[in-house]
Structure 1
Amino acid sequence: MDNPSTFFHQQTIFLTGGTGYLGACLLYQLATKLDTRKIYVLVRGSPEQAISQWKKTIPSQVEGILSTKKVQLVVGDVTEPSFGIESAILDEMADTVTVIIHGAASLNWMSSLRETVHNNCLPVLHLAKIASIFKNLTRFIFISTIYASSHLPDGVVEEKVYPAGDAEEHLAQILKEGKVAGGVDGRFASRYAFVKNMTEQLLLARHPKLPILIARPGCIGPAISEPYPYYARGGACPLSDYIERYMQNPDSGIFHVSLLHPAGTNIVDEVPVDIVTNLILLHVMQGTTGVIHTSAESYVPRTLAQLHQDVVDHFPKHNGSRGAEFRYVTDDSVKQGRYAEFWGIGGRDWRFSNAASKRFRSVDGPLSVALGDHDSRQFMKERARRIGEEIIRRRASRVSSKL
C-alpha cells in the first residue's frame, strides 16, 4: 500500500459536515496527520462560529488544525442553490478539488419525512450535480448509515444497496404529500434511515459516471485515540445517550429480543469514531467505489448482554444503589422499558459485513485500524464510569446554582 501522507499531500478535499462529530475527526486527520494539500470546509453562519464549535468539541486540536494553513473555511448552506458558495470560490474549487466528502446531515429524529428529505437527500443530489463540473474529481464520498438497510430481517447484510421500493416515486410522493404509500415507521429504524436508503439509490441511478463511494458507519462511539481518547459528542453517540438515560433514571430493564437470542446475545453494532474515520480515508486512498460498512466487525463485536453488564457494574458507584436487572423477553406483548423503546434497534441482530475493509487490518501509520493491546471491555467500562461522573457533576452544578 502507498504511503497515506504521500497520497493525501496530492489531494484537495471539499468536506461538508466538518463541524459535526465524525466530520471534525475527519478534518483533524486530514489536516494534521496526513498533510493534505488543501481542505475546503463548508461552514454555516461564519468561520468564527465554526471555530467556536471546534473549541467546544476538540479544544486542544483547533490551533493545530488551523495552523497548518491548509484549511479554508467556506461559508455556505447545503439547502441553498450551489450550497450558497460564492461563485469565485466555487470556480476555484471546480478547478482544484480532487475528493469530495459529504458528511453534512441532520440527525433530528423528530423532523418530518419532508424535512428529513430536504436536509439529508436533496443536498446530496445537488452536490452530485455540482461535482459534475469539477474538472479533477477522482472520488465522491457520501456518508450514509448501516441502518439504510434496517428494513431487512435480522441476519447478514452485505455491502450493497438494498432497494426499498421505487426511490424516484418515493421522492416525488414525499415532496408532494409529505409521505409515502404504506408509510415508513415500522419498516425502518427511523425516517432518517429510510431517507438514506432512498438517497443511495437516487445518487447511484442519477450519477452513474461519478466515482461514488457510499460509506455506511454503524452506531458511532467514542474515539480510541484520535483526536483524543474518549472524544465524543452528545446526541451523536446513540449508545452513550442510552447508557446515560438509564443511569439517570433506571426503568424495568425489560428488552425485546428475537427467539434466536433469548439471553441478549445479539450483536450491538458500534464502532469508535476514529476507526470509522480511518477506514473511510483508507478507502478514499484506494479509490474504492460502491458501498462499504464501518461496523462492529471493523472493531470488536459485543452483545447486548455484555453492554448491559458494564452499565450495571458501574451504576452503584454514582447512584448509591443498583438499578433494575436487565431482562430479555421474546414475547412482544410484554411491555418493555422506556429506554428499550428509545433505543428501538437494540434487540435486533443484523450482521453487517465489512469484507471490503478486511485488507486494511494490518495497515500501519496514521490510518491504522489495528487494535494492538486495546481492551474493548475495559474501554466500555471506563466510558460508563465517565458518563456516571458527568451525571454527578451536572447534578452538583444544579444544586450549587440553587444555593
Structure 2
Amino acid sequence: MVQLKEDSVAAFYAEKSIFITGGTGFLGKVLIEKLLYSCKAVDQIYVLIRKKKDQTPSERIAQLLESELFSRLRKDDPSALKKVVPVVGDLTMPNLGLSAAVQDLIVTKVSIIFHVAATVKFNERMKNALANNVEATREVINLCHRLEKVDAFIHVSTAYSNTDQKVVEERVYPPPAPLSEVYAFVTNNGDDMDIIQNLLNGRPNTYTYTKALAEDIVLKEHGGIPTAIIRPSIVLSVLKEPIPGWLDNWNGPTGLLHASSQGVHCSMLGSGSNVADLIPVDIVTNLMIVVASRCKKSNGLKVYNSCSGTTNPIAYQAFTKMFLDSCISRGWNKVPFPMLLFVKWAFLNRVLKFFLVIVPFFLIDVYLRFFGKPNYMRMITYTKKAEDLMTFFTSHEWQFKDGNVRDLINMMSPEDRKIFYCDPDEIHWKPYFDDYCVGVFKYLLKRKV
C-alpha cells in the first residue's frame, strides 16, 4: 500500500474514480498518463469514447495505452493501465450518449470530472461548435449535479476565449452574446462562414467564440459543484514528463514552423516582438490535477490562466528562430537558410512569398512532374490556410493575469511542486524548443532521430 501524506495532491485522488471527456485528445492523453503515474492510489478512470465503425472502444483505449507516451507506465507499473475504462458516448447527444447502466455507474462511483473535450478547429461550422463546445458542457454539468459525491469539476477553456480584452483577468467575462440570440442568428441566417463573421463581431473564430459561451454556461449552471476553469494559452509539446518533446498533432504554430524549415513558408502577417504565449502540455495537466484537489477549499468558481507570457515571456521572432536553429543544427532543413519573418504589411508579405516561395517551388514542381512527384505547391496551399488561421494571434497581444496560479503554487508543498510542476517560470526556452523540434520530426513525421 502506497503511503501518502494526508494533504498531498496524490492523497486527494486515493480510492477515487474520475470521468474524463476528451481523453483521446492531446491534453487528455497526458492527463491520464500523469494521473496513473503520480496518483497511484486512484481507483478507476472512465474515459468517454465515441463509437467508430472500424474500432471498438476497448480497441481504441488499448491503442492509446500502447503509444510511447505510456511507456514508463508499461515498464514501472503495467497494472495501472487496467484502471482506464472506456465508456461509449457522444458529446453531442443528450446525457452524453451514455447508456442508462453507464450513467448509473458514473453517478455512484465518480467524484471528479475533467471536461477536456472540445472541437478545436478554428474554422468549425458554428452549429458543430455550439454542439461540441457549449451544449456538451451543459450535459457534463448536468451529469455533475447527479453525482452522489462530487469533489471537483474541471472545465478546460482557452486563454483566448476573451480576445476582445487586452488584459485578461482570471474571471468569467460576460458572453459575446446571449445564447438564445446566437441560436436565433444561426437559424435565421444560416451557418455559412461569411455570414457567421457578422455574429463573431471581431472575434477570430468559432472556437474562441463558443468557448466564451461555454464559460458562461459553467458560471451560471455549476451551482454548488466545486468547480474551476482552466484556460491554457497555446499548448505545445511536453516539457519534462513523461517524454520531453512528445506531441501528437499539428495544431497551433507547429505546422507553420515545419513548413518554414522546409522553405515553403517564409513570412506572415504579425509582429515578431509580440509575446507568443506558449505553454507545455504537462504544465497544463499538472495544474488541472492540482486545481481539482483544491476545488472544495475554494470559495466559488475560480479561473486559472495557464500561460507563460506574464512571468516568462518569449516573442514570436525569438521562438521561431530557436526552432529553426534547432532544425539547422540537425540538418533537417530543406533550404540552406530557412526563415520566418513577421511583417506588418500585407503587400510586403505577398511579395516575399511570391519571390521566395511560389516562384522557386513552382519551378521545382515543374521539374518533379518529369522526374519525381510534385507536391510543393500543394504544401504551400495547406500552409496558407494554416497561416490565415494564425494571423489574428500573431498580429495581436494580450496580457493574461495569473494571480490564482501563483497563489496555488505558493500553497503547494515542496514535494508536490516537484511532482506536479505547473510553474511556467521553470521553462527554459532554448532546450524546450530543441526538444519540441525533435518531437515534431520524431512523433509527427515518424523520422528516426
- What TM-score does the superposition give when structure 1 sets the normalisation length? 0.85
C-alpha contact (below 8 Å) 1:65/1:71 kept by paired residues: no
Structure 1 or 2, whichever has the larger Rg, is: 2
Which of 410, 418, 428 in structure 2 is aligned with 1:375? 428
Matched, 1:53 2:64: yes
1:261-303: CA deviation from partner (whole Å, max 9, x where unpaired): xxx2211011000000111111111114332111114873211
Distance 2:16 2:203 in 1: 37
Q: Specify the alignment match of 1:343 in structure 2.
A: 390
Tell me by how many angstroms 1:322 deviates: 0.4
Matched, 1:357 2:405: yes
Tell me by how many angstroms 1:37 deviates: 2.6
Tell me by how many angstroms 1:181 deviates: 7.5
Sort the Cα spacing of 1:125 and 1:133 in 2 relative to 1 into closer, same or farther, 3 A: same
Q: Specify the alignment match of 1:310 in structure 2.
A: 322
Tell me by how many angstroms 1:14 deviates: 1.0
Which of 40, 43, 49 in structure 2 is aligned with 1:37? 43
C-alpha contact (below 8 Å) 2:235/2:279 kept by paired residues: yes
For 1:3-402, list aligned pairs within 5 A: 3-35=8-40, 36-45=42-51, 46-56=57-67, 58-61=69-72, 63=74, 67-68=79-80, 69-152=82-165, 155-163=166-174, 164-174=176-186, 177-179=189-191, 183-184=198-199, 187-236=202-251, 238-257=252-271, 264-287=272-295, 288=298, 289-297=301-309, 300-316=312-328, 317-318=331-332, 319-324=334-339, 326-329=341-344, 331=345, 334-335=348-349, 338=384, 340-344=387-391, 345-361=393-409, 363=412, 364-365=415-416, 366-369=419-422, 375-387=428-440
C-alpha contact (below 8 Å) 1:21/1:232 kept by paired residues: yes
SS at match of 1:183: helix
C-alpha contact (below 8 Å) 1:360/1:369 kept by paired residues: no
Q: Which runs of 5+ in 2 are unaligned?
A: 1-5, 52-56, 354-383
**Match of 1:377, as an amino acid?**
K
**Match of 1:265, as an amino acid?**
S
Distance 1:165 1:145 in 2: 18
**Match of 2:100, as an amino acid?**
S
C-alpha contact (below 8 Å) 1:40/1:73 kept by paired residues: yes
Sort the Cα spacing of 1:284 and 1:211 in 2 relative to 1 into closer, same or farther, 3 A: same
- What TM-score does the superposition give when structure 2 sets the normalisation length? 0.77
Distance 2:152 2:280 in 1: 24
Distance 2:246 2:210 in 1: 28
C-alpha contact (below 8 Å) 1:297/1:354 kept by paired residues: no
SS at match of 1:343: helix
Distance 2:167 2:425 in 1: 27
The range that moved more, 184-193 or 238-247, is 184-193
1:38-74: CA deviation from partner (whole Å, max 9, x where unpaired): 2221122212122213434625256467622433221
SS at match of 1:58: helix
Distance 2:221 2:427 in 1: 43
Distance 2:441 2:31 in 1: 28
Distance 1:384 1:203 in 2: 37
Percent of aligned positions with the same letter in both sequences? 22
Sort the Cα spacing of 1:343 and 1:249 in 2 relative to 1 into closer, same or farther, 3 A: farther
Tell me by how many angstroms 1:105 deviates: 1.5
The range that moved more, 70-79 or 21-30, is 70-79
Give the number of the structure whose residues are more often helix, by fraction: 2
Tell me by how many angstroms 1:248 deviates: 2.5
C-alpha contact (below 8 Å) 1:120/1:196 kept by paired residues: yes
Q: Specify the alignment match of 2:374 in structure 1.
A: none
Sort the Cα spacing of 1:195 and 1:370 in 2 relative to 1 into closer, same or farther, 3 A: closer
Distance 2:283 2:348 in 1: 38
Sort the Cα spacing of 1:89 and 1:274 in 2 relative to 1 into closer, same or farther, 3 A: same
Distance 2:45 2:158 in 1: 24
Distance 2:224 2:423 in 1: 34
Sort the Cα spacing of 1:281 and 1:171 in 2 relative to 1 into closer, same or farther, 3 A: farther
Aligned residues: 385
1:353-374: CA deviation from partner (whole Å, max 9, x where unpaired): 1111113446433212357976
Sort the Cα spacing of 1:176 and 1:11 in 2 relative to 1 into closer, same or farther, 3 A: farther
